[in-house]
A and B are shown apart, each in its own frame.
Chain A
Amino acid sequence: LAKTTQPISMDSYEGQEVNITCSHNNIATNDYITWYQQFPSQGPRFIIQGYKTKVTNEVASLFIPADRKSSTLSLPRVSLSDTAVYYCLVGVLGYQKVTFGIGTKLQVIP
């Protein structure tokens, strides 16, 4: 299983762009990179998934460099409602080879 490392916590002001980087040096060829968001007292929610280069959806963008040893989740113009824990996962769920780390706790400040 690929080990992931991400900051434990981050603070950001409302309206700023937030970038959360995850390191995964031993990522395997078949592994995907997936990000989840979890609000207090709720289950995690899928945000975005990618394999290489850049992926964008209505919520976030995911940047993956060519060597795939890291990835960056970008949240544009955060609001207070984006305060949550963000998890970086590396692997393939279909093979039961994905683990959740402790995540990054993002606090958005007014």
Chain B
Amino acid sequence: NAGVTQTPKFRVLKTGQSMTLLCAQDMNHEYMYWYRQDPGMGLRLIHYSVGEGTTAKGEVPDGYNVSRLKKQNFLLGLESAAPSQTSVYFCASREAPQAYNEQFFGPGTRLTVL
């Protein structure tokens, strides 16, 4: 099993450009998450999905959109990148049981917006 994979690993954008980050998991997990991690800020939840075809906003959703067309994939889109979106982005997935807090994280995507 590959677990959770993220594409790409690194990316540099210019302000105003768009891009899509891909997250894929092969564990048949229902829940998937996108986080961003900034120095001194811990991880902050951007969007999440509780199943195929569903998405919801997290703590810091502005400037991002997501889609979950297939259960194994969760896409994060930046329509018009801004320097404030320079960050490391982590995707995670977990099984459905409500009271179990184990998430499986991907290796991250380091995004720089110039």
- List chain B residues, Cβ under 8 A from A30: 99
Q: Is the CB of B105 within 8 A of A49?
A: no
Nearest to A87 among chain B residues (CB) is B42
Q: How far is the CA of A15 from the CA of B51 in the complex (A)?
A: 44
Q: Is the CB of A41 within 8 A of B108?
A: yes
Q: Mark B85-114, 1 if CB is under 8 A from A, else 0.
A: 000001010101111111111111000000
B61 located at the interface, meaning its Cβ lies under 8 Å from any Cβ of chain A in the complex: no
A interface residues (Cβ-Cβ under 8 A, vs B): 30, 32, 34, 41-46, 49, 87, 89, 91-96, 98-103
Q: Which of B4, B58, B90, B98 contacts A95 (CB 8 A)?
A: B98
Q: Which of A93, A102, A103 contacts B101 (CB 8 A)?
A: A93
Q: Is the CB of A94 within 8 A of B97?
A: yes
11 contacts between A and B (CB under 8 A): A32-B99, A42-B107, A43-B92, A92-B101, A93-B94, A94-B96, A94-B98, A96-B58, A100-B42, A100-B43, A103-B42
Q: How far is the CA of A93 from the CA of B105 in the complex (A)?
A: 14
Number of inter-chain CB pairs below 8 Å: 66
Q: Is the CB of B102 within 8 A of A43?
A: no
Known A44-B105, A46-B103: A96·B45 in contact at CB below 8 Å: yes
Q: Which of A92, A93, A102 contacts B103 (CB 8 A)?
A: A93
Q: How far is the CA of A32 from the CA of B58 in the complex (A)?
A: 20
B48 located at the interface, meaning its Cβ lies under 8 Å from any Cβ of chain A in the complex: yes
Additional A-B contact list (10), CB under 8 Å, known A44-B105, A94-B97, A100-B42: A41-B107, A43-B105, A43-B106, A43-B108, A87-B43, A92-B101, A93-B103, A94-B100, A96-B48, A99-B42
Q: How far is the CA of A21 from the CA of B83 in the complex (A)?
A: 36
- List chain B residues, Cβ under 8 A from A46: 101-104
Distance to closest chain B CB from A47 (angstroms):
9
Nearest to A45 among chain B residues (CB) is B105
